[in-house]
Amino acid sequence: MKEPSPSLHATLLRQREAHARDPLPEWSVRATRLRTLQRLLTEQREAFAQAISDDFGHRPREETELLELYPSLSNLRHSLKHGKRWMRPRGGLANLVFLPARTTVLPQPRGAVGIIVPWNYPLFLAVGPLIDALTAGNRVMLKMSEYTPRFSALFAEQIARYFSADEVAVVTGDAEVAQAFSSLPFDHLLFTGSTAVGHHVMRAAASNLTPVTLELGGKSPAIIGPGARLDNAVERIVFGKLVNAGQTCIAPDYVLVPREQLNTFVDKARATVARLYPNLAGQEQYASIVSDRQYQRLAKLRDDAVAAGARVEPLSDASDLPVRRLLAPVMLTGVNDDMAVMQDEIFGPLLPVLPYDSLDQALSYISSRPQPLALYLFEQDRATIARVLERTQAGGVTVNDTLYHIAQHGLAFGGVGPSGIGGYHGKAGFETFSHLKPVFRQTRLNGAGMLNPPYGPRFKRMLKLLMRLG
């Protein structure tokens, strides 16, 4: 493990010292920080979108605004509206036998928080947890991805203009810097990225007993139920799969479709792509793959599957354009579990389609695999929906659409098992970055002394009463 650099340690120490001076910031202080972040996003909107597009080779400004800027600003408005209430102590009565004592839950900032940001949505996945951490009253250090160097440098520069380093600090650099960052003794560490890297982050955090929130990935299935509205299902799956060219941690990774609807599904998907992305090869609204490495990885996944017997179903007339890193979207049929495309998270515009003969067969297939970050179900029958929800596990679920569970303020976003630990967003994010300190307040007149030793007849009567009353 690489030792953290002196500058990383110095920044963390500065934030810890600032936290010690103001361990429970008033709401006015927190709201000022949130409004400063709001102003930063509004004023740098155009520059951020351009930097992200430059890093990708090309990404539509519309996608950056819809999927990164809008949810960030929406989260800010929500936290500014509700944060003051979230931070209030939550009082209550003690258990019956301890009355008239009272209890309180006191939300307190954890202190200095670390956030490791991935490349695929570098603005939203930096700002989202940053909002929650600031609302909870923390100081924050962010490690940006080296795979989006233009945006990372610009974000670091702008954060330094709008915030002091003891409030929010941004770190850039390669994998060695990320490794050193994850080994810092933060009060909480949030990582978004691959399951493989998540193992390393968790090991590094464990050396400091740093609590972690891990937002990982996995193979998120979409199920076309027997009662699905097929046209709607196809449109929403194509949308969820092809925004950002599939480089989305909760994009549908594969589709389970009733066997008799397989060919119809493929035909409808091709027609939907033609409608959403006309002239895809020259389409300015279809994103590039972020790097040559990722482009080559995806092309190999597709080509290896074909070599092993899978069939490519082109979804457009476009051909691959390596110079632009444009990877034409395709469906893959005839896949099997031995193919890498069915073992690894795809993270690109390749969509395996698997037919099933009964819904039980589809559910057994999902349940026999590691729990995914997301699951999508298209179905109208309420009993069938309830059955699928009961028999599957996933970090989050959207019914009759894709992706949008991540945008709900009232729903925590997170994984389960190999797809992640913990969650954030809205009140859930506030609580992730807070210590909900339990406080028991004893009253002047109380019966606690009746349980003191020596343990005689009075103690036995009291213990018998406690056992009965609970």
Which helix (H) or strand (E) segment is 107 a member of?
strand 102-109
User: In this structure, are residues 54 and 291 in contact, taking their beta carbons and an 8 Å threshold?
Assistant: no
User: In this structure, are residues 402 and 239 in contact, taking their beta carbons and an 8 Å threshold?
Assistant: yes
Residue whose pair of structure tokens reads 């949810």 in the numeric block: 71
Q: Report the half-sphere exposure of 9 (CA within 13 A, side-chain side).
A: 5
First-to-last CA distance in the chain? 50
Q: 63, 68, 235, 249: which one is catalytic? A: 249
Task: Return the SS3 of 74.
Answer: helix
Report how far residue 242's alpha carbon sits from residue 265's, in angstroms, rounded to the nearest whole number. 16
The dihedral sign for the CA sequence 335, 337, 340, 342: positive
249 a catalytic residue: yes
Cis amide bond preceding 278, omega within 30: no
Report how far residue 202's alpha carbon sits from residue 145's, in angstroms, rounded to the nearest whole number. 18
Q: 215, 313, 345, 379: which one is catalytic? A: 215
User: In this structure, are residues 329 and 315 in contact, taking their beta carbons and an 8 Å threshold?
Assistant: yes
Distance of CA 213 to the CA centre of its chain: 10
Report how far residue 409's alpha carbon sits from residue 399's, in angstroms, rounded to the nearest whole number. 17
Which residues have a catalytic role annotated? 215, 249
